[in-house]
Chain A
């Protein structure tokens, strides 16, 4: 455990696992989206941590990737929640287990 990077990577892995568990386990579509957001944030934490302890931080690569990732995640959240609202208006539910109309 010599490197301070290890702690950040373990925290990011744990956060990713929590987000994945939430996305797989929760019934509500909004909670699934929140789980996906947590997974994206765990990846961002990795980018920033690797940027901080990289040999060439002045290249700003990891930082830029994290900033673009935040922007894309914001767009994803807007479209995803818009879709949830549209589906709710159609099916009167946000419960994913009840959205089985296309089940064969």
Chain B
């Protein structure tokens, strides 16, 4: 089960980053987001999994498709989709993965083994959100409000100024 979801997620992410057509890439990244939601459900984090489905598959994917269509991203650029300095970027990413992978493998013995399935029902999460985590909740609410207003103002069609 784990390997199946891992293959799905990584294939989606890899396809999203390599496909030439932006719309295809957006669909591939939706597959990757769905794989991550399955990971969360597999890890007994039902609330986070459904939040992932709602926010990423429901909102972010749609937003990305809208942005692609609004910027005429469905047309292929003549110069190719990858930057001129693609080799440097790939080398940096490979280096980062080597360091992260080394850190994970080196600390594998210290990691905890199989534990009991934790229970995190919506009631507990709600109590925690309005109890211990009430200040972050308020800050996130403010941030989301500011981001909504900001996104609208930034993307607002500017009136042609009279010259």
Cβ contacts under 8 Å, B148 to chain A: 75, 78
- With A4-B114, A70-B51, A71-B140 known as contacts, the answer to whether A30 contacts B71 (CB < 8 A) is yes
Bound form: Cα–Cα A29–B22 in Å: 11
Number of interface residues of A (CB under 8 A): 74
- With A7-B2, A25-B89, A26-B82 known as contacts, the answer to whether A17 contacts B48 (CB < 8 A) is no
Cβ contacts under 8 Å, B133 to chain A: 64, 68
- With A70-B55, A72-B143, A79-B151 known as contacts, the answer to whether A88 contacts B2 (CB < 8 A) is no
- A55 near B104 (CB under 8 angstroms)? no
- Which residue of A is nearest B115, CB measured? A53
- With A3-B112, A88-B70 known as contacts, the answer to whether A20 contacts B96 (CB < 8 A) is yes
Bound form: Cα–Cα A24–B84 in Å: 11
- B29 near A34 (CB under 8 angstroms)? yes
For chain B, which range describes its interface: under 10, 10 to 19, 20 to 34, or 35 or more residues? 35 or more
Cβ contacts under 8 Å, A31 to chain B: 17, 22, 25, 81
Contact with B along A32-53 (1 / 0, CB 8 A): 0111011001001100110111
- B115 near A6 (CB under 8 angstroms)? no
Bound form: Cα–Cα A17–B10 in Å: 11
Contact of B13 among A15, A26, A53, A57 (CB under 8 A): A15
Q: Does A2 contact B (CB under 8 A)?
A: yes
Cβ contacts under 8 Å, B9 to chain A: 11, 15
Cβ contacts under 8 Å, B100 to chain A: 13, 16-17
The 3 closest A-B CB pairs, nearest first, are A24-B89, A57-B118, A22-B17
7 residue pairs bridging A and B, Cβ less than 8 Å apart: A4-B113, A21-B89, A44-B52, A52-B43, A57-B118, A88-B70, A89-B157
